[in-house]
């Protein structure tokens, strides 16, 4: 009995020792694991814990302001007051708060539904936007009634504002909310911020990256459900760069006012620097409306308008240059040696090519004319003849030198290259052979040839600056030298260019010139120019026999396009201007007077003579933000 109990006790001792050994072994496993987690892997877990703890919230940087060349603000930032609701602060009754707010700030049913939906979807402490762009009165009313509006807060943001409204709409473009597709490309983390806006057109689009600035970040400590416990650090980011443009806001205003009832565009260049001093396209749109967000009716009205208010016609509108192209034809003929300046050609109102009759715009004919006179009268017969003598190849080559058919390279989106037809082009694209009649048409700037008003302005600048093709720009160049021409030297004999300028002088300043109504004298400064009228609808033989209708009697869309290119002052040129009025009737009657008024303002204000102002300081808003 005792021995048996003794065996039992010995067994217990032995087994207890084994259990203890097992326990020590398992404990050492735990120790090993502790060492692994808390020493070897500790850095990894410390990082993970930090990531848990810290949440980075982006801060939108203020968008850079856009100025004109003398420091007038074209695109500003305004304080934008938003009403937000934080549902956890509504004392548990969101509906009561919204009802109370409804008495101060009437809300539509749709708004209330959207707010309820967003509140349901987001966490209790996340602010939900009630309305943006509150007026001062609305904002003040909400602030005053704050005790009755638990959970409602007013948040200040910045909103883009274009004080000139339509005036510079096509140059500046506009900003808008980031579209779903743009977010999908995920280029910029800022895009995901609610209400963040990016450039959608014009300078706003072209220089979006510079204007955007660098996002700031607020590092906050959050708990497991994402509620902010405290702010750790705040990096305001870098405000967008201020952008001084080359345009003169005063000229924009004058030109827009003069043209707003037309459908057309005008571009004014500094012929030496290529700076765009004015660029207007009409009808225009209010870029502020895009920032606010267009209603679908507003959008339909804009996009369905046959006068295309959204298109920047100065660089996106394509027109036959018509008679404004005649200088290029003349230069090609002179360089080809097929005429000399004094060569005379007899205009009898029409010319025959085979059995096809080509008419001069003046049915009765001009009689014998030399080149200068032909330009002054804009005689079509003269240019049919010299075009025939020169041939399409040489005309195309000269036109291409002046930039026809290729992009000017202006720093704005949406530019079109136009078209300068050649034999090769016709064969390749139309599959037809080049005909003599095509050359006749090109001789007077008609036919397949298409150019933008900007290209015409560049051409005019090259005629005025002795043969240098400038690259138009909207940003003041870094090392601006107002006296040395920057551009591509076209290598055209100076006496030929001089002859062209003399011809253009006669157009405006001779009492028989086609644009004698455009004559101005600003303190002795005169302008020179060339009219152009291009047919939109082909005139049939029958119509011609019945007698041509007056342009005013035609429906708008059948009227001719009216063009005018001009430079000035004539004794020492500085400005080149191209004006194209769609269906304006005639270059001399519609385009030339508009061009004259713009040139008068340009010569008076003389913006190229003064050094542009460079705004150094980056400011958030022209009015200053508290």
d(CA 339, CA 272): 30
Which of the stretches 38-46, 183-191, 308-316, 496-504 binds other proteins when contact is defined by CB under 8 A?
38-46
Which of the stretches 181-189, 215-223, 376-384, 549-557 binds other proteins when contact is defined by CB under 8 A?
215-223
Which of the stretches 22-30, 195-203, 454-462, 466-474 binds other proteins when contact is defined by CB under 8 A?
22-30
Q: Is 123 in the site for other proteins (CB under 8 A)?
A: no
Closest CB to other proteins among 50 and 478? Answer: 50
Which of the stretches 10-18, 137-145, 367-375, 616-624 binds other proteins when contact is defined by CB under 8 A?
10-18
* CB 151 to other proteins: min, Å: 24
Q: Which residues contact 585 (CB under 8 A, 6 or more apart)?
A: 533, 551, 552, 559, 560, 562
Tokens of 492: 């055209």
* CB 46 to other proteins: min, Å: 5
Q: Do 398 and 328 touch, CB atoms closer than 8 A? A: yes
Q: DSSP secondary-structure letter at 484?
A: S
Report cis status (omega within 30 of 0) of the bond before 163: no
Q: DSSP secondary-structure letter at 225?
A: T
Please, what's the b/e burial string for 211-235 (b: 16 or more CB within 10 A of its CB; e: otherwise)? bbbebbbbebebeeeeeeeeeeeee
Which of the stretches 33-41, 283-291, 309-317, 543-551 binds other proteins when contact is defined by CB under 8 A?
33-41
Show the 3-state SS of 546-592. HCCCCHHHCCHHHCCEEEEEEEECCCCCCEEEEEEECCCCCHHHHHH
For the chain, the distance separating the N- and C-terminal CA atoms, rounded to the nearest angstrom, is: 99
* CB 124 to other proteins: min, Å: 15
- Best CA proximity match to 252, nearest among 66, 471, 524: 66
Among positions 50-89, residues that touch other proteins (CB under 8 A) are 50, 52-53
Tokens of 173: 């473009």
- The torsion angles phi and psi of 252, rounded to 5 degrees, stand at -55, -45
Which of the stretches 30-38, 195-203, 277-285, 525-533 binds other proteins when contact is defined by CB under 8 A?
30-38
- Best CA proximity match to 325, nearest among 418, 455, 408, 443: 443
Among 2, 5, 478, 541, binds other proteins (CB under 8 A): 5
Closest CB to other proteins among 221 and 335? Answer: 221
| Active-site residue flag, 323 | yes
Q: Is 217 in the site for other proteins (CB under 8 A)?
A: no
Q: Is 539 in the site for other proteins (CB under 8 A)?
A: no
Among 49, 140, 209, 625, binds other proteins (CB under 8 A): 49
Closest CB to other proteins among 26 and 144? Answer: 26
- Residues touching other proteins: how many (CB under 8 A)? 42
* CB 38 to other proteins: min, Å: 4
Q: Which residues contact 65 (CB under 8 A, 6 or more apart)?
A: 73, 75, 76, 77, 242, 243, 615, 619, 621, 622
Q: DSSP secondary-structure letter at 427?
A: I
Among 23, 135, 179, 498, binds other proteins (CB under 8 A): 23
Among positions 367-426, residues that touch other proteins (CB under 8 A) are none
Do β-strands 66-67 and 73-86 pair in parallel, antiparallel, or remain unpaired? Answer: antiparallel
Closest CB to other proteins among 40 and 609? Answer: 40
Among 7, 91, 233, 557, binds other proteins (CB under 8 A): 7
* CB 86 to other proteins: min, Å: 20
d(CA 411, CA 409): 6
Closest CB to other proteins among 138 and 221? Answer: 221
d(CA 375, CA 369): 9
d(CA 593, CA 604): 16
- Best CA proximity match to 255, nearest among 267, 270, 271, 241: 267
* CB 56 to other proteins: min, Å: 16
Q: Is 26 in the site for other proteins (CB under 8 A)?
A: yes
Q: Is 18 in the site for other proteins (CB under 8 A)?
A: yes
Q: Do 83 and 105 touch, CB atoms closer than 8 A? A: yes
The binding track of 221-240 with respect to other proteins, each residue x by CB under 8 A or -, is xxxxx---x-----------
* CB 9 to other proteins: min, Å: 7
Which of the stretches 47-55, 179-187, 268-276, 605-613 binds other proteins when contact is defined by CB under 8 A?
47-55
Q: Is 125 in the site for other proteins (CB under 8 A)?
A: no
Closest CB to other proteins among 22 and 363? Answer: 22
Tokens of 469: 């093709």
- Other CB atoms closer than 10 Å to residue 17's CB: what's the count? 10
Q: Is 21 in the site for other proteins (CB under 8 A)?
A: no
Among positions 263-322, residues that touch other proteins (CB under 8 A) are none
- Of 323, 378, 396, 588, which residue is the catalytic one? 323
Q: Is 27 in the site for other proteins (CB under 8 A)?
A: yes
d(CA 128, CA 115): 7
Q: Is 42 in the site for other proteins (CB under 8 A)?
A: yes
Closest CB to other proteins among 4 and 617? Answer: 4
Indicate which residues carry an active-site annotation.
Answer: 323
Q: Give me the residues that bind other proteins (CB under 8 A), please.
A: 4-5, 7-9, 11-13, 15-16, 18-20, 23-24, 26-27, 29-31, 33-35, 37-39, 41-42, 44-46, 48-50, 52-53, 221-225, 229
């Amino acid at each position: 009995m005792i021995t048996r109990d003794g065996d039992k006790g010995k067994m217990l001792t032995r087994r207890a020792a084994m259990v203890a050994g097992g326990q020590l072994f398992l404990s050492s496993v735990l120790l090993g694991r502790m060492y692994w987690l808390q020493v070897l892997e500790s850095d990894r877990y410390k990082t993970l814990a930090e990531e848990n703890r810290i949440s980075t919230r982006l801060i939108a940087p203020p968008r850079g302001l856009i100025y004109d060349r003398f420091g007038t603000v074209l695109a500003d930032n305004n304080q934008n007051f938003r009403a937000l609701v934080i549902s956890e602060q509504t004392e548990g009754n969101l509906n009561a708060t919204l009802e109370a707010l409804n008495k101060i700030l009437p809300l539509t049913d749709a708004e209330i539904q959207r707010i309820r939906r967003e509140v349901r979807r987001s966490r209790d402490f996340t602010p939900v936007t009630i309305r943006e762009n509150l007026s001062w009165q609305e904002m003040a009313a909400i602030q005053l009634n704050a005790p009755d509006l638990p959970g409602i807060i007013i948040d200040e943001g910045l909103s883009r504002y274009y004080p000139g409204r339509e005036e510079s709409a096509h140059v500046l473009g506009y900003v808008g909310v980031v579209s779903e597709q743009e977010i999908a490309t995920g280029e910029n983390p800022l895009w995901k911020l609610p209400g963040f806006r990016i450039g959608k057109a014009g300078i706003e689009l072209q220089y979006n990256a510079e204007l955007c600035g660098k996002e700031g970040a607020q590092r906050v400590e959050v708990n497991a459900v994402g509620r902010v416990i405290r702010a750790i650090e705040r990096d305001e980011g870098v405000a967008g760069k201020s952008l001084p443009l080359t345009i003169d806001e005063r000229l924009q205003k004058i030109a827009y006012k003069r043209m707003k009832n037309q459908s057309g565009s005008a571009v004014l260049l500094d012929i030496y620097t290529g700076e765009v001093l004015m660029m207007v396209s009409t009808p225009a749109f209010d870029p502020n409306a895009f920032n606010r967000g267009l209603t679908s009716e507003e959008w339909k009205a804009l996009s369905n308008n046959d006068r295309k208010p959204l298109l920047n016609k100065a660089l996106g509108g394509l027109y036959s240059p018509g008679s404004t192209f005649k200088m290029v034809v003349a230069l090609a003929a002179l360089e080809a040696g097929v005429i000399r300046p004094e060569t005379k050609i007899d205009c009898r109102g029409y010319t025959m090519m085979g059995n096809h009759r080509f008419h001069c715009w003046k049915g009765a004919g001009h009689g014998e004319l030399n080149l200068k006179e032909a330009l002054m009268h804009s005689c079509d017969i003269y240019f049919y003849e010299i075009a025939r003598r020169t041939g399409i190849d040489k005309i195309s080559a000269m036109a291409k030198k002046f930039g026809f058919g290729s992009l000017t390279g202006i720093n704005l989106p949406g530019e079109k290259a136009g078209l300068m037809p050649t034999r090769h082009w016709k064969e390749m694209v139309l599959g037809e052979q080049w005909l003599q009649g095509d050359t006749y048409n090109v001789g007077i700037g008609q036919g397949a040839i298409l150019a933008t008003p900007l290209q015409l302005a560049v051409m005019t600048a090259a005629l005025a600056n002795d043969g240098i093709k400038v690259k138009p720009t909207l940003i003041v160049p870094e090392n601006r030298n107002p006296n040395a021409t920057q551009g591509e030297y076209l290598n055209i004999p100076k006496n030929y260019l001089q002859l062209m300028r003399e011809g253009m002088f006669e157009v405006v300043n001779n009492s028989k010139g086609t644009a004698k109504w455009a004559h101005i004298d600003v303190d002795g400064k005169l302008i020179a120019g060339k009219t152009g009228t291009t047919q939109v609808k082909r005139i049939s033989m029958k119509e011609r026999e019945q007698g041509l209708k007056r342009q005013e009697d035609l429906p708008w869309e059948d009227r001719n396009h009216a063009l005018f290119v001009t430079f000035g002052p004539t004794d020492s040129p500085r400005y080149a201007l191209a004006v194209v009025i769609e269906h304006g009737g005639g270059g001399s009657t519609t385009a030339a007077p508009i061009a004259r008024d713009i040139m008068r303002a340009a010569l008076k204000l003389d913006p190229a003579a003064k050094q542009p102002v460079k705004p150094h300081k980056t400011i958030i808003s022209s009015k200053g933000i508290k």
